[in-house]
Structure formats: structure tokens, C-alpha cells
Amino acid sequence: MAKSSPVSPLAPKQVPVLPPIKGVTLATAEAGIKYKGRTDVMAMIFDKPAAVAGVFTKSKCPSAPVDLCRAHLPKGRAKILVVNSGNANAFTGKKGAAATKLTAEIAAKAANCDFDEVYLSSTGVIGEPLDATKFEGHIEKMVQNASPDAWLQSAQAIMTTDTFAKVATQQVEIDGKTYTVNGMAKGAGMIAPDMATMLAYIVTDAPVSAAVLQNYLTQSTETTFNAVTVDGDTSTSDTLLAFATGPADYTNPEDKKLVAFKSAFHDVLHNLAMQIIRDGEGIRKVMRIEVEGATSKAAAKKIAMSIANSPLVKTAVAGEDANWGRIVMAVGKAGEPADRDRLQIRFGDIVVARDGEREEGYSEEACAAYMKNDEIVIGVDIGLGSERFTAWGCDLTKEYVEINGDYRS
């Protein structure tokens, strides 16, 4: 097993306590999938079938659990979610599909539900067969012993190269009644949009339908999980699921009574996405890339991601070097409309280049001092339009190479 990494220096200073949500319980187990002496399976059980929505990887080589979730999603109901760490059950062929089927059958029996009310996720090494018989007995016991308070323990069970568990919560009022939105996620490497090597699960007791959840999930993903990148690599296993345990009283995403709920839902996704980027493998600094003045939203995003994913930009940030020439390079290679002589670049509030040349009066000393911060804002004004996009990335360090060089050893 890869040697463990110290907790990211950018980890949250405080971990929120997630309150119980009516209609859902959670449990963990040590199944010995890969890791020894730690939990590696999490189950989320719903008292009654919950409304469910999902967004998945855009990889053309998805894992077997992703295939299962996609097949079950049209029913819009979930009774049990089972997640394992240590093995992604991806690129495992017929054996992988058989392992997923057996796991789902075990879960359906334990939860006393239909096969298509089971949702599965797996995360870890790609290409290694998953022995689904290891779940036998464990899932049944998890269903029997599940607790409404086991949110943090469940987030810990699904960690791989993560250095801290990722949880978030919000409370919100709908028509005078208070509801909760809880979330957990895992992810630290193989992180790029569409959706990152990321698993995330959001649960609410708000009385909303699967259609409302799907609408809000799809919208929020674009500016949260699909706006972060650690290394430009998209996983085979990305899964984001949202569940609602209450009655489907609200079925229209445009209902004005849901405005506050939609905002709270987005805040939980954004919080988790930021925790993922702050746990990037070997990370020491977060980059916030603010692109404005682009000709289209798509162009702004592509330029922002070009900067965020550039190894040369990332290593410059790691070395605390305000090398704005690398920003120019990343803008130029994005392939979107840009004009060298209209470009403006800043680090924080310090403008370093304007109108195609270095800013007059630019102070390298001031910029060098700014680059010592834990969070670096890179601002780029394309000067051709009015569209903007914000992306988040991180530096690229020797530790990233060490973590991934040791991953399978």
C-alpha cells in the first residue's frame, strides 16, 4: 500500500458536525478490499426509497459501478448506496460487471429492496478485479447497525489518497420549515473537470422531486466540481449523487419557494469542491483563475482551465515565481479568441502585464511577496467580450510525483 501522506496544510481548521437527516442512516465496515486496519466500505440506507439524481464521469472508459448507476437512475428511487475504497472496479471487463451485479444483489437483499434501487461506487486502483464476496455479511450488518450520526466515519471510509475527510452541511427554510443539506466527498488526485476522480453524495430531507434535484445538480456541477483541477486527468469513476428523503411536494425547479434551497444546495457542492482542491496530492498552494472579457462562457472556461492545467504555470506557483509569461502561453494555446495587445494579467491586485507588454512600474519584489500566500489569484482580462469564468487549481510539487509513483506499490 502507498505510504500515507501528512494532512494537507490547506485542510479546513474545523470539521463541521453533520446533523442527522430524517429518513437516512449510515454505517461503515472493514472488508479488506485493499487496506488493512481501516474501514473501506460505507453504506447509506434510506428508510423509504429516496428521490435520486446523478451526474457521472464523461470518460469513455467508465467503471462498472458507473454503468450500474446510470442504468438505475431513470427509476429515480434509491434505497441503499454502497461505496468501497481501495479498488475502482474499472477496466475489469466481465469480471467487473459480475462483481457489481453480485454486490448489488447482496445490497438489495440486505436492504429488502428492488435491484434497481441499489447504487454503487468504487474508488481506488484501476484494472484490479474486485472480489465482491468480501461484501457478504458486511452489508447486512451495516444495514442492521446503521446510525443517523455516522457522516464523518462514512466520509473517512471512502478515502484513498485523500489526507482528510470531506464533509459539508447547510440548513435552509422552505415555506417556513427548516431542512438540512448534508454532503460528503472524496478526491485528491486524477482530478479534472468531467468530473474529477471524485465521489460525492448529497442528502437532504427537503420535499423535492428527483427532477428538481437533477436540475439543480446539473447546473451547480458546472461551476463547482467541473471548475476544479489538480492534474488535468479525468477519472473512470466520477460519481455525484443527490438524494431527497422527503415527499416530492415541490416538482418545479423554477418554484420561487425553492430559491433559498437551490442556493444552499449549491453552497454544499461548492464547499466540497473547494475541499477537494485543497487536498490536491502534494498541494501547497491553491490557484484561483479569474478569466473575464472573453467572447463566450465556453471560451472563458477553456482559457481558465488551460491556465489551471498548465504544468509550467503550476510549477511556477509552486516555486513562488510570478512568471506571467507562462500565463500568456496558456492563454494563447487554449485556441479561443484572444488578442495579445488587449491582454491584461494580474496576480492578486498587482497588474503585471497590460496591452501586450509588461506593466509600467511593475514591482517584482511586491509580486514575489504576494506569491508566498497559500492562495494565489491569477486574473486575466481577454479584452474582447463580457463573459467570465472562475476555475480553481493548485501547484505541482515533488510530493505529487512521490504520491503517484508509490500509488500501487
The answer to whether 186 is annotated as binding is: yes
H or E segment and range at residue 208? none
Residue 193 pLDDT > 60, yes or no?
no
**DSSP-assigned letter for residue 101:** H
Q: What is the pLDDT of residues 194-252, one digit of tens each?
A: 444 589 999 999 999 999 999 999 999 999 998 988 766 655 668 999 999 999 999 99
Q: Rounded to whole angstroms, how far apart are CA atoms 21 and 25?
A: 8
pLDDT confidence band for 35 (50 / 70 / 90): confident
Q: Which three cell numbers stand for residue 185?
A: 466527498
Residue 84 pLDDT > 50, yes or no?
yes
Phi, psi of 237 (to 5 degrees): -120, 5
The answer to whether 197 is annotated as binding is: yes
Q: What is the pLDDT of residues 282-333, one digit of tens each?
A: 789 999 999 999 999 999 999 999 999 999 999 999 999 999 999 999 999 9
pLDDT reported for residue 409 = 46
Q: What's 38-50 look like in SS3?
A: CCCEEEEEEEEEE
Q: What is the pLDDT of residues 10-33, one digit of tens each?
A: 889 999 999 999 999 999 999 999
What integer is the mean pLDDT of 261-288? Answer: 92
CA distances from 228 to 98, 107, 287, 304, 306 (A): 33, 33, 10, 10, 12
The answer to whether 309 is annotated as binding is: no
Residue 97 pLDDT > 60, yes or no?
yes
**All structural domains of the chain:** 24-278 (3.60.70.12), 286-405 (3.10.20.340)
Phi, psi of 292 (to 5 degrees): -135, 170
The answer to whether 399 is annotated as binding is: no
Q: Which of 92, 197, 204, 234 is catalytic?
A: 197
- Contacting residues for 131 by C-beta, under 8 A, at least 6 apart: 33, 99
pLDDT confidence band for 402 (50 / 70 / 90): confident
163 is catalytic: no
